Structures are given as structure tokens and as C-alpha cells.
Structure 1
Amino acid sequence: MNSLASFLIFCTLLGTEALSLLRHQGLKEPEGHIDRKYLPAPKWFEQKLDHFNPADTRTWKQKYYVNSTFYKPGGPVFLQIGGEGPASPKWMVQGEWIEFAKRYNAYCIQIEHRFYGDSHPTKNVSVENLRYLTSEQALRDLANFRVKMSSLLKMNKAKWVSFGGSYSGALSAWFRAKYPHLVHAAVASSAPLFAKVNFYEYLEVVAASLNSINPQCDERISLASQKFKAMLAKKSDRQLLKKMFKLCADIDMSKNDDVSNLLESLAGNFEGIVQYNKDNRHFEGGSQITIDLLCKLMTGGKNTSENALENYAKVNSLLLLDANQTCLDFSYKSVIKELQDVSWKAAVGGRQWIYQTCNEFGWYQTSDSPKQPFGSGFGLKFSAKICSDVFGVFNLKDLEANVNETNTNYGARNLKATRIVFPNGSIDPWHAVGLTKDLNQDAPAIFIQGTAHCANMYPPSKKDPPQLTKARQKIGDLLEKWLAQDA
């Protein structure tokens, strides 16, 4: 796998693993060992390609899943909204929303986002075709689906509740705000409501989260980052760094983008672990790496720059082993080449998601804040140039205009809506662009101390901290209250 370690990390239902450059939110798929015979088969719904052009009659097939096991006449419909990755049938039999479905006798549906997974509206993902990939088109998909599915199921009087995490959490909130006559209530977990080009706060929260485990952790990372940068100046030291950090190629200082990508990738080793720390997506096996483990590695031994660099390399080796990689490929050019492939076979989600960030959201996790320990080697100029390098049509001025339009359209943190709950975790860097204070008395925020990205959405565990259990209880009680209310 190429580096660009942060170009994807976001809470998709869903999830694509990825490179680096834009640490995407993404709700990860629970990794339980579930017999596939217990999972529902996909269904397909005919959607319009362009909801905003009546003259365009082209259509495509959108994937969705159904679980009617818990439904009883008079119960609500729960709609789990897909985000920037493939929909997974595992979510149809587990997770927080399934527990709520049992409690309220809900009919459960999960719908995949256009241009992700198997929902292919066009023959490829060329720039010309990606213009149909917008949050507005996705919301209209949801509205069309909701109206027609209510009629098909003969459930026109049923109350619909939308669920989502991360980007799809924002979609859940926007769906309720934009179409209040179609959506009775919404759960918007870890929802990034505020679009922002330079999301430097991301690393600030990473630093604070590491500091909450061990104050020396940030100090050692800072020492290591400074030592690494100093060693880049000398060829013999660069060869030592190559060996220590198991790099796939020599470090060529004339290739500024490679150097920036390398520095960002090393920071990315910590970013991904912080974002998904102890979130229970591996509740039946898989990676058990946590912030605690990384900080234990970083703070071992003497408090010297040499030892800090060695520990930094140990963290990198651990993450390579966990990803089943033999070396760290930090070539910026090779990543861009992969992202320029417009075929569906190559388009696992990265190209599409980056297009959305260039076109609507920004959210570039840069090193431009001094309140973080990873140095200043991957600023906005580097992070945002991916838009022009992959799509050839963007610059920073375009990005700023696109992001401002998104905030104007949806209202950012001041959207006008009720019956939405906004859970966020204090460790999750994405809470910095979400809601951590009540929007209004009927749209509360739940700020869960010590938890990570979309933690409330995963199946409960005996190891869950009491504040997470309490948050789930509060969400369930709010749903009970709202379902008892008239539209």
C-alpha cells in the first residue's frame, strides 16, 4: 500500500482503508465473525442520475439492505445512511441502532451512498461523471428512496429515523434539516458539520488525546520529529532513516512532495489509532493497538532525541506489521497515479472521497498549528494540492469558495432543526468540526469523554466505559421521547 497515510479516515459504514493526505473519517465495518447465511442479501433501487435536471432521464441502481426481523405494525423505519465506502450487511444484525430497533420494533434499512461500494451511477469515475457526486444529490437520493419505499412497503404513516456516523452522520443531520416532512428524527454520530479547508485542529486534538494518556508522549514525539527533520539534511543520516523506518526507497530531498508525504505518514501512524481508539470495531478479533500502547512505546527508555527517534521507528514498524506491509512507500507520484485511474476496479473510494473534499468540504489535516508535536512539514499548500494533481481543476481559491458554499447551504454548526442528537467523543479529532454543545433544547449534543470516532455506533462491550453506556442510554431515551411525538 502506498503512503499518503491520511488521505482517508472518516466514519463510513463502511470503510475504505487508505493512504495519507486527508485522514478520512469513515465508520469502519465491525469485524465480527458472522456466518454470512445470517446476513441479508442486497436489494436494488432505481435512482435518477441527476435529481436537479428534469430533462435528464438517466437512471442507475442503488444498493440497499433490509432487516424486518424486529418490525411490528406501527413501528418506525430506521434508515442507516451510507457514507464514503461500501455498505456492509454486518450492520444489519449488530450495532447500537439494532439494539434500538429491537426496543422500538423498527424496520431496518441501510442504503449505500452513490459512487461508493457497488452503487455505480456512471460507467467510470472521470471528472465529468463525478459532478454527480455531491451531498445534495445524495440527500435527494435519500428523499426519493424514502418516499417510494414508504409506498412500496405500505408504511406511509410510519415515522422514519435516520442514522449515520461521520460524513454519513452529517448527512443524517442534513436529511432531517432539509426534509423534516420525511424524517421524523435523526442520530448524527461524530458528524463534521463545519466544512473547513485548513483543518489544523485535527492534529491539535490528536496531541491533546495523546497528552491525556501520558504528557511525556507528546514531548517524545516532538523530540523524534525534530531529530528526524535534522537528519534529513545529511545523506548518510537519510540512509540510516531509511533502515530505521523501513522505507521502500531512498529519501530524495529534491522531491519535496515525497518528503512532506513521509513526514505526514509518520504522523498518520498516531492519527488513525487516536481516531479509532478502543472503538470496539474489532470486538471479535483484529488489531488491538491503542493510544496506550503507542505512548508506552514512545516513552520507554531515556528522554533523549536519539531514543525518541528509535521509539518513533518502533511505532512505525508496529503499524507496518499491523497493516501487513514490509516497507513504507511514501512516493507521492505513485499515489497520485493510482488516484487518477478512473476505472471502477481501481476506485475503492479514495478518488471519490477526495473529489468530495475538493468540491465541498476541505478538511485537510495539516501541520500548520504549533500546538502539535509532529513538526511543520505538511502544511496546507502540500495537503490541498492533491485536488489539482488528481483532478486538474482546483486551486485554493476554488476550495475556499466551495467550502463556503457548503456552510452557507447547510448552516454549519447553526443549522435549523429539531429532533437530532449529536454524539461526539472527546478523543476523536473530528469533534473539532462537530457539535459539542446543544444546538437547541430539542437537538442536544452528547460529548462523551474518553471515546473515539463513532464509538457509540458499535456493538456494546463489557469493556465500554460507563460514560459511553450512559450516552447510548440517553440516545435511546431521546428516540423514545421523539417517537411518541407527532410529526
Structure 2
Amino acid sequence: MLRPIFSPWALLLSGSSFPLAVAARSFAKFSHLEASIAHSNNSTPPYVPTYNVSLPIDHFNASDTRTFTNRYWVNDTYYKPGGPVIFINFAEGTVTPAGIALTLAEWTGHHTFASAVMHLSKQLNGVAIGWEHRYYGYSQPFELSKEDFPVGGAKDYQYLSVNQSLEDVVCFATKHIHQAKLKDNTVLSNLGPNATEILHPSTTPWIWVGGSYAGNLGAWLRLRNPEVIYAVWASSAPVECRPDGSAYFNNIYRATPSNCTADMQAVTRHVDSLLSSTDDSLLSSTDDSAKHRDAVGKLLMHPITYIFQGCGPSGTIHSFCNYLEGFDVASYLYHHRSSNAHDATAGLEVGLAAYLHALWRHNADISPMLAAMRTHSHPNPRDAYAWQWQSWTEIGLFQTIDPASEMALGSRFLDYGAARRDFVDDLPNRVDNSYVRQFGGWNMQPSNTMFSDGEFDPWRAFSVTSQDGHLGAPERGVTTEIPKCGVSLEKGSDIFGIVHEGAVHAADLGSYLYPVEQQEEEESDGVYKNTTLDGLLWPPMFERAGALFLRALKEEWLPCFEEARGRVTAI
């Protein structure tokens, strides 16, 4: 069966709880914010009603009548008849109360927060719906053991696929929501018992908002079922699914000072040479030396694990580099003189000492945040097991190291074999991503879709805005010129959207807002400039992307939806 996702080295360091070789999950977008909510004692979050819908376990086998219960949430605070459905799929993670408070109620307990979903709902008089992905959280098709693994074994994961999960949303939108009695939602209830009838996608536009894998799902569903999902905001969506995800580290390399990357590469090569020597004393001469090499390699990668994609370079790799480059070499040499002080390897040994020192200091800085994220955001291994399955069967993007790449920052031992050793024999021998690749990957051309990316997002290498031409990316341009409704982009054409300077993963889907008097402090880094609105500072990624998407909806796409139905838009 699948092994627990928590590896000893990660627990020892209080670091990332997910092996590097597997595609990092998108929870890093909000998990540090969820942790802050968990520590807040201020009042009670607004109530967002939770509902359940019964869905087929297998949508594509009419003889299989088994069903399971899937959770969803509805906030109708800003809804007026005629307004759209603003839909967010929480994708590869349990939907927590903190996540709902942030995303569907804009509540943290102590700061003003803005979420893209609720901002759009307010501006468009829409109803917001949050969706839990099958096999994650409490939307489980099969009984789980006390270890959070399906009682029936790995075979129970056979219905965890992109196609099944997309059909879940289609089924919900076309067969359920217009018949749902959302009795716990005040606005809809006051409109009468049949208020939800007009929420069918044939009469109400469904607008998808999602980041990372959820962004993929939105873009894929717009291509697969344009009659269901009318428009999409796909933030940081790595739609170019392939087994090799080593390019994940390219943008981390680009965001890191060159002197630091040179030192990191030198130390890593030195450690690799030690690990590949015939003397296994470094590995305690165990019979499991391959796994020990994997562990050492992961240890060296700790500064650039998934926290970079959520926190950016200033709080991760730049902090590590400051410790690395500021290491007191003279003091170290004074206390560690030996007979081989002038040996050719002495410099590399000092470099390794500096690296380990920086690793220790950097880890001490981030451990409280990581502990809070691990404790409050991800209580169940079930999510990790499910994402293992999706990664190994369909998504791929394993964060391995390509030693031939000039941007490689990790050990050459973190290869595909290391990825495989982290997991299990029950998984398929190869990734079959034929289904998701039919949507076009880097070359996908969905209409009514806005793509947004962070300049230094590690996942940008696999998004439609990728500039990694050496991997085969077409290096498409990015434009803010709004496409006409329903018109697919031409192959190789520019992408409609935005790339945020200096930003990382899904940075535009939600953010804290601060009083105007904090503007000078917030702008001190010279990178992020804020927009003042309603007496609050709106971070530029959120404000710019939200404004662009709203303009596309109001000026082009929503009027087109109404005209096609013989109606005049009131927006």
C-alpha cells in the first residue's frame, strides 16, 4: 500500500511534508493564512452554508449505480437575480473552515482580506459556490481506514481522474443546482422556493476561478464543456502536464542571486561526489544506501521546497542566501584547522559547512510557520495519498533534478528513481497523461479565459506563459487586449492575461488589505506597489488581475451571453 507521505528528513527539519519528487500541491497559496486564522481568537467567522450532493462514483459506466457524497458551499450575500455563478474548485486538499472563511467570507479574525471569488461576486451581483474535489477532504467515494487510506486498497483510486472530476462539476451544474433547496442561504430563500431554477448554466453564466491545479481544471473544462463553464480565470495553471517536472526549479534559479546559485551548485556537486564514492561510510554502510542518498539530496534542497512558490524569494531563498554568503569563514577555519587545510577540497568543505549553517539558520526562521501550516491546514494524510495517485497516474510534473541543466540546484540523485522510491509498488509504472494533453498544454486555446502568472512562480515553466523555449514551450506573448466572446485563440497567438512582476504562485486570488497609512511601509521593498481603494491598500497582483478580468466580463463576455439569449445585460 501507499507509504505515509511524511518522510523522516522532513519531520526532522520541520520542513515540507511532501517529498520533492512529487508535484507540489497548491495548498501553499493560502495555508500560511489559514494558520493565522487558526491562531485568531477574534469573534466567529461568518456562516457559509455547507451542502452535499450525491454523485456517481463512475460517470462513464451506466451499469454502475454507486454514488458518493460531495461537499459544496454557497455564499449568496451579494446575489441578485440575473447575476452569475462564481465557482471555485478547492482542488487537491481538504476544504477547511479556515479556507472557507478566507475564500467565501473574506474573514481572518484580525485583518481585512479580499478574495477574488467574493470580489467578483460583489461586483457582478453573483452567488459564490465552493467545491470540494472528489477523494479530498470529506468527499470520499470509499470508506477510509484509520490511516486515511481506502479500505479496499489502491484499486479504489481508479475513479480518481481528471475526467471524472470534471464530470462531477458538469453533473452538479446541469442536474443538481437548479433543483437544490438552499434553505440555509437567506437571500435565495427570500426569493422563493424556486430561486435556484435560473442557476442552470443554460440561463446563468458560470464563471470559474482557480489557481494551480484548480486553474488547470477550469481551462480544461472550458474546452471540454463550454456550454457549462462560460468564463475562466486560471491563475498559475501548469497545464503542460508531463512526467519530467525538473523545470520547476528554473524560476527559483532566476530569482536567486548568481553568487548564491554558484555556491549552491558547487556544494551540491561536492556532496554528490561524496555520495557516489566507493566509501559508503558517509551513509553508515547501510544496505539502503540509495534511500540515504535520496534523503541527503532532499536535505540540501530544503531551502527551495514548495514554500518558495507560496512565500516568494524574499522569505525563502534570499534568506538562505544571506546566511550562506554571510558565513564567518575565518572563524570556522580557526576552530576547524586540520592537516589538510590547504588540500584542494578544503574550499568545498568550508562551502559545505556554510551551506549547513545557512540551512540550520533558515530552517529556524521558517519552522514556526511550517509547523502552523502542517498542524492547522492539513490534518489528514488522505489528501497526500490522493495527490500521489493523481501525480503518478495522470498529472506527472515530478520535481526531479536534471543534472544537465545549467539551472539545476539540487542533487543528481533526486532523479525519477528517487521519486519512485518515495512511494509504492501499487502505482502504475508510468504516467498516462494522454487525456489531459489532448487539451493542448502550452498551446491550449480556450476562449473566454484569462491566464495570470507570477514572474518567478516555479510552475510558470509549465503554464501557457512559459518562457522556457529550450523545453519546447512556444514562448507565447501576453496581452491585455480582450478577446471577443467565444473566439478561440489562434495557435501560437498571444495569451490574454497578465504576468505579475516579482510574484510567485497564485498571488492574485486573495490578499490581506491594509489601512492607507501603512502605504509607505508596504512599498518599501520597491517591488510591490499598492492601489488605494475604499481607504485600503490593494496589492497590485490582486487589483490588476481582478480589474482586467472584470473588464473582460463586463465589456465583452457577459453582454455576449445575454445577447445570445435575447436579453439585455444589466451589468
After TM superposition, is the score higher than 0.5? yes
| Partner residue, 1:99 | 119
> 1:96 Cα deviation (Å)?
2.1
- Return the index of the structure with the highest Cα Rg: 2
| Partner residue, 1:470 | 544
| Partner residue, 1:454 | 506
Q: Specify whether residues 442 and 111 from structure 1 end up closer, same or farther in structure 2 by C-alpha distance, changes over 3 A only.
A: farther
Indicate the RMSD between aligned Cα atoms, in angstroms: 3.2
The 3-state SS of whatever aligns with 2:208 is: strand
In structure 2, give the amino acid aligned to 1:92: L
2:303/2:316 contact within 8 Å kept: no
Is residue 136 of structure 1 aligned with residue 163 of structure 2? yes
The 3-state SS of whatever aligns with 2:433 is: helix
Question: 1:298 and 1:74 mapped to 2: Cα distance?
Answer: 57
For structure 2, list consecutive stretches of 5 or more residues without a partner in the other structure: 1-5, 107-114, 145-149, 181-195, 330-346, 372-377, 466-475, 479-488, 515-521, 530-539, 565-571
The 3-state SS of whatever aligns with 1:103 is: helix
Is residue 413 of structure 1 aligned with residue 442 of structure 2? yes
The 3-state SS of whatever aligns with 1:296 is: helix
Q: Specify whether residues 101 and 345 from structure 1 end up closer, same or farther in structure 2 by C-alpha distance, changes over 3 A only.
A: closer
Is residue 290 of structure 1 aligned with residue 304 of structure 2? no
1:418/1:442 contact within 8 Å kept: no
1:364/1:384 contact within 8 Å kept: no
> 1:309 Cα deviation (Å)?
2.2
Q: Specify whether residues 325 and 414 from structure 1 end up closer, same or farther in structure 2 by C-alpha distance, changes over 3 A only.
A: closer
| Partner residue, 2:244 | 198
In structure 2, give the amino acid aligned to 1:445: G
2:135 is aligned, of 115, 125, 132, to: 115
2:85 is aligned, of 68, 77, 84, to: 77
In structure 2, give the amino acid aligned to 1:191: A
1:72/1:106 contact within 8 Å kept: yes
| Partner residue, 1:54 | 62
The 3-state SS of whatever aligns with 1:422 is: strand
| Partner residue, 1:275 | 309
1:196-345 equivalences under 5 Å are 196-210=242-256, 214-232=257-275, 233=277, 238=282, 252=286, 254-278=288-312, 289-301=315-327, 304-318=347-361, 320-321=363-364, 322-323=366-367
In structure 1, give the amino acid aligned to 2:226: P
Q: Specify whether residues 130 and 254 from structure 1 end up closer, same or farther in structure 2 by C-alpha distance, changes over 3 A only.
A: closer
Question: 1:23 and 1:128 mapped to 2: Cα distance?
Answer: 22
In structure 1, give the amino acid aligned to 2:405: P
2:49/2:75 contact within 8 Å kept: no
In structure 2, give the amino acid aligned to 1:175: L
| Partner residue, 1:434 | 463
Map Cα deviations across residues 57-105 of structure 1 (whole Å, 9 max, x no partner): 1111101111111112211110101211012312112322222221111
2:414 is aligned, of 375, 378, 388, to: 378
1:83/1:113 contact within 8 Å kept: yes
Question: 1:252 and 1:316 mapped to 2: Cα distance?
Answer: 25
In structure 2, give the amino acid aligned to 1:447: V
Question: 1:356 and 1:414 mapped to 2: Cα distance?
Answer: 22
1:162/1:172 contact within 8 Å kept: yes
2:443/2:464 contact within 8 Å kept: no
The 3-state SS of whatever aligns with 1:144 is: helix
2:210/2:235 contact within 8 Å kept: yes
The 3-state SS of whatever aligns with 1:198 is: coil
2:55/2:67 contact within 8 Å kept: yes
Map Cα deviations across residues 90-145 of structure 1 (whole Å, 9 max, x no partner): 21123222222211111001000000011111113322110010011000000111
Map Cα deviations across residues 159-201 of structure 1 (whole Å, 9 max, x no partner): 1101111111100111111111111101111111111111121
1:225/1:374 contact within 8 Å kept: yes
1:3/1:19 contact within 8 Å kept: no
> 1:378 Cα deviation (Å)?
1.0
| Partner residue, 2:18 | 18
Question: 1:306 and 1:290 mapped to 2: Cα distance?
Answer: 24
1:273/1:291 contact within 8 Å kept: no
In structure 2, give the amino acid aligned to 1:50: D
> 1:224 Cα deviation (Å)?
2.4
The 3-state SS of whatever aligns with 1:364 is: coil
Q: Please give the TM-score of this superposition, normalised by the length of structure 1.
A: 0.80
1:163/1:186 contact within 8 Å kept: yes
Question: 1:102 and 1:294 mapped to 2: Cα distance?
Answer: 41
Q: Specify whether residues 393 and 108 from structure 1 end up closer, same or farther in structure 2 by C-alpha distance, changes over 3 A only.
A: closer
Map Cα deviations across residues 190-219 of structure 1 (whole Å, 9 max, x no partner): 111111111121122221122xxx221201
Is residue 186 of structure 1 aligned with residue 232 of structure 2? yes
Q: Specify whether residues 443 and 61 from structure 1 end up closer, same or farther in structure 2 by C-alpha distance, changes over 3 A only.
A: farther
Question: 1:62 and 1:182 mapped to 2: Cα distance?
Answer: 19
In structure 1, give the amino acid aligned to 2:270: K
Q: Specify whether residues 238 and 39 from structure 1 end up closer, same or farther in structure 2 by C-alpha distance, changes over 3 A only.
A: farther
Q: Please give the TM-score of this superposition, normalised by the length of structure 2.
A: 0.69
| Partner residue, 1:350 | 384
Question: 1:403 and 1:64 mapped to 2: Cα distance?
Answer: 28
| Partner residue, 1:150 | 178
Map Cα deviations across residues 403-435 of structure 1 (whole Å, 9 max, x no partner): 244312x22233342001111112111111111
Number of aligned residues:
434
When structure 1 is superposed on structure 2, of 86-95 and 126-135 the one drifting more is 86-95
The 3-state SS of whatever aligns with 2:204 is: coil
In structure 1, give the amino acid aligned to 2:348: S
In structure 2, give the amino acid aligned to 1:427: F
The 3-state SS of whatever aligns with 2:381 is: coil
> 1:26 Cα deviation (Å)?
0.9
| Partner residue, 2:400 | 366
In structure 2, give the amino acid aligned to 1:164: G
Question: 1:262 and 1:75 mapped to 2: Cα distance?
Answer: 54
Q: Specify whether residues 204 and 345 from structure 1 end up closer, same or farther in structure 2 by C-alpha distance, changes over 3 A only.
A: closer
Q: Specify whether residues 414 and 442 from structure 1 end up closer, same or farther in structure 2 by C-alpha distance, changes over 3 A only.
A: closer
1:479 is aligned, of 553, 558, 565, to: 553
2:209 is aligned, of 163, 167, 183, to: 163
> 1:351 Cα deviation (Å)?
1.4
Identity %: 23
Map Cα deviations across residues 308-346 of structure 1 (whole Å, 9 max, x no partner): 32332234324544346999xxxxxxxxxxxxxxxx996
2:53 is aligned, of 16, 29, 45, to: 45
> 1:154 Cα deviation (Å)?
2.0
Q: Specify whether residues 101 and 326 from structure 1 end up closer, same or farther in structure 2 by C-alpha distance, changes over 3 A only.
A: closer
